[in-house]
């Protein structure tokens, strides 16, 4: 009922301020963010990084195979779209979660459907992050995405085995070392396809760790769904 009412309440588009119905972008801003310009660089089919001309896959995924098969990213983490993520994470504007979920759902529709019965699993936040923000951005986005895609959401299936240092400003190698063995899986994933949900992918080290834990628990395959991909 709450989401139904929210979809009908008049709000302002978070990017341009135009009046819209519910927590969403105006049609113009949504079209701008989701636009697939002719000639735009394609994305790596595995990690969604923009590719140089003629490259079938990014060097990172080519050199070391990923435990997940596919990444769907709604947009690149750059202006103006990055403001949507910052509003959720830095300003704690929970109304941005359904906006981001809607954009991810549109990207899924563009890139191809998920396997039937896919289970949505958000990346768990660390204790320090939860205390600072009072919420887990990935979990908030996943809740909206479950409604958008009509898929089941499994909270608490991925568990953090330890606290990890903040990733901001760390090198790729440091991020990879810090994420090794970061998660464990608690729940029934045997034979199921799982879609891991997060707000931003930078190097993919967090997604690697999450996918590894899910596959070790018997998941049939893992897809990563993110609002933004760092170029």
pLDDT of residue 187: 83
pLDDT of residue 18: 92
pLDDT of residue 165: 60
pLDDT of residue 1: 42
Q: Using CA atoms, how far apart are residues 231 and 223, in angstroms rounded to an integer?
A: 19
pLDDT of residue 69: 92
Selection from 143, 95, 146, 138 nearest residue 118 by Cα:
146
Q: What is the pLDDT of residues 106-128, one digit of tens each?
A: 999 999 999 999 999 999 998 88
Domain boundaries, the chain: 1-35, 40-229
pLDDT of residue 225: 98
- Paired with 159 in beta bridges are 184
Which residues make Cβ contacts (< 8 Å) with residue 48, sequence separation at least 6? 71, 72, 73, 201, 224, 226, 229
Reading phi first (left if > 0) and then psi (alpha if -120 to 50, else beta), residue 160 is in beta
pLDDT of residue 57: 85
In CATH, 40-229 is 3.30.160: no
pLDDT of residue 4: 43
Which residues in the chain come in under a pLDDT of 50? 1-5, 7
Q: DSSP assignment, residue 50? A: B
């Amino acid at each position: 009922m709450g989401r139904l009412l929210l979809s009908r309440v008049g709000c302002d588009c978070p990017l341009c301020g135009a009046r819209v119905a519910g927590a969403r972008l105006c049609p113009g801003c949504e079209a701008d963010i989701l636009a697939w310009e002719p000639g735009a660089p394609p994305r790596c089919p595995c990690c969604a990084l923009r590719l140089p001309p003629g490259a079938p896959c990014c060097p990172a995924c080519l050199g070391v195979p990923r435990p997940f098969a596919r990444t769907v990213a709604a947009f690149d983490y750059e202006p103006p779209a990055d403001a949507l993520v910052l509003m959720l994470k830095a300003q704690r504007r929970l109304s941005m979660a359904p906006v981001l979920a809607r954009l991810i759902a549109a990207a899924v529709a563009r890139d191809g459907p998920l396997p039937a019965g896919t289970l949505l699993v958000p990346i768990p936040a660390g204790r320090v992050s939860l205390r600072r923000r009072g919420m887990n951005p990935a979990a908030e986005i996943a809740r909206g995405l479950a409604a958008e895609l009509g898929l089941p959401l499994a909270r608490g299936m991925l568990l953090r085995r330890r606290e990890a240092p903040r990733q901001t400003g760390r090198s790729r190698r440091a991020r990879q070392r810090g994420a090794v063995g970061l998660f464990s899986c608690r729940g029934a994933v045997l034979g199921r396809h799982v879609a891991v949900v997060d707000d931003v992918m930078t190097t993919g080290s967090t997604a690697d760790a999450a996918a590894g834990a899910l596959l070790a628990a018997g998941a049939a395959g893992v897809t990563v769904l993110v609002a933004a991909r760092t170029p």
